Structures are given as structure tokens and as C-alpha cells.
Amino acid sequence: NAGVMQNPRHLVRRRGQEARLRCSPMKGHSHVYWYRQLPEEGLKFMVYLQKENIIDESGMPKERFSAEFPKEGPSILRIQQVVRGDSAAYFCASSPGTASSYEQYFGPGTRLTVT
Amino acid sequence: GEDVEQSLFLSVREGDSSVINCTYTDSSSTYLYWYKQEPGAGLQLLTYIFSNMDMKQDQRLTVLLNKKDKHLSLRIADTQTGDSAIYFCAVPIYNFNKFYFGSGTKLNVKP
């Protein structure tokens, strides 16, 4: 049973380009969370999605950032017109989201560098 | 929102016990979690405790919860060099729509 997959593991973008980060949850998990980790800091919640629905996006910047979790395929975190301050590690976590099991299982992260 | 705090560093000798502390503010959380992050890696779920428990033991790990003081601790017995990592406590809001993480405690184990 494969764990949470994220790709790419490393992504370099120039200022103004778009970054697209992918997350495939664990088999059987229908809940996905995205987090951002700045260097030497903890994780900051960005968005929580279930299949085809954004449940909570209160941690997402209002502009340039969007997320989706389509019926088929991975969850995508999209950052348009990247700036240097977007450089960070982006982690997704998946959860079965059942009443007895809300553990989150994390992917290895995508390290975004904006030059 | 939720405020989760941890001390930043802890240094122990191999074979000693380590105690990592966490305080939080939201009393509605039903589960509280501990994660481990090794350099360049994602977070690994170590253990969790249900909020109606005071203690949970899992091999070398002991979690203590003082719900009145909103204080959570993780004790690692017989700490090994392989335990060197950053440890995060995580607290969900009541409906699990959002998890708040502490800033992490960097554990350094000296041989």
C-alpha cells in the first residue's frame, strides 16, 4: 500500500512563473490537507479538501493560490506568478476522515525554490 | 485561532529520557498528535492520544495529557541517536477541518 505521493520533489521557478504541485493520497483516503513550511518553522495549514470540494481554505492566501481535488486524479496546489516569498516546502497529508480515524499521513513534500 | 507552542531545542545524552512539551489553547480538540520530521523528509505520525485519556504508552513513547492545563508531553525512553529529529505536536479543531502545528522541538541526541 503506497503512501502519500507528491511530485515533483523539487521545483525551481523564476519569479512570475506558475508552480503546480501534485499530491496523490493514500489508497482509500478521500481527505487531503495542504501545508506550507518555511525554513526553520512549523507547518502552517493552507487548505482542506475532499473529493471535488474545498472544505476549508482559510489558510490560503487570497490571491495567486488555488487548490483542487478532482474526482479522478491527484490534488493540485497551484501558485500563479510566484514570488521569492513563496519559496518553501509544501506538504500534503491525507486522511481516511472516518469517525474513528482522523490521523493524517504526510507525503515527502515538494520543495519550491523561486529564483 | 489555535495557538500551539513548543520549546525549540532539547539536547540529551544517548540512553537518557527525553521529554518534549507542548501547550495549546483550544479545549475542544478530541485527539492530539505527535509527529517526527527527519531532515529533508515529510512528517511521520508517531502517536496520538484521545482527549479523555491522561496517558498513553507505546513502546518507548509515553504521551501525557493534562487537559486542565492544556499541556501535552512526549517522553522518549532510552533515547537513541536515531531519535534525533524535529518533533511536532498537532492539534485539530473540533471538526478536523484544520490542524494546528507547534513550531517543532529539535531533539539532539549526543552519543
Quick: pLDDT tens for A7-32: 999 999 999 999 999 999 999 888 99
Cα separation, B110 vs B12, in Å, equals 6
Classify the C-alpha dihedral B111-B77-B2-A61 as positive or negative.
Answer: positive
Average pLDDT, chain B: 91
Counting every residue, how long is chain A? 115
Residue of chain B nearest A49, judged by CA positions = B97
CA dihedral B28, A101, B47, A48 (to 10 degrees): -70
Q: pLDDT tens digits for B49-93?
A: 998 889 999 999 999 999 999 999 999 999 999 999 999 999 988
A1 and chain B in contact, CB less than 8 A:
no
B36, B97, B103, B105: best to mutate for the A interface, most A CBs within 10 A: B97
Q: Are B87 and B105 a contacting pair, CB within 8 Å?
A: yes
Beta bridge partners of A61: none
3-state SS assignment for residue A18? coil
Of the given ranges (A16-20, A110-114, B88-92, B95-99), which has the lowest mean pLDDT? B95-99
Task: List strand residue ranges (DSSP E) for A71-109, in order.
Answer: 75-79, 88-95, 105-106
Query: How would you label B23-55 residue by residue, b for 16+ Cβ within 10 Å and e otherwise?
Result: bbeeeebebbbbbbbeeeebbeebbbbeeeeee
Q: What percent of chain A has pLDDT over 70?
A: 95
Q: Are B19 and B11 a contacting pair, CB within 8 Å?
A: no
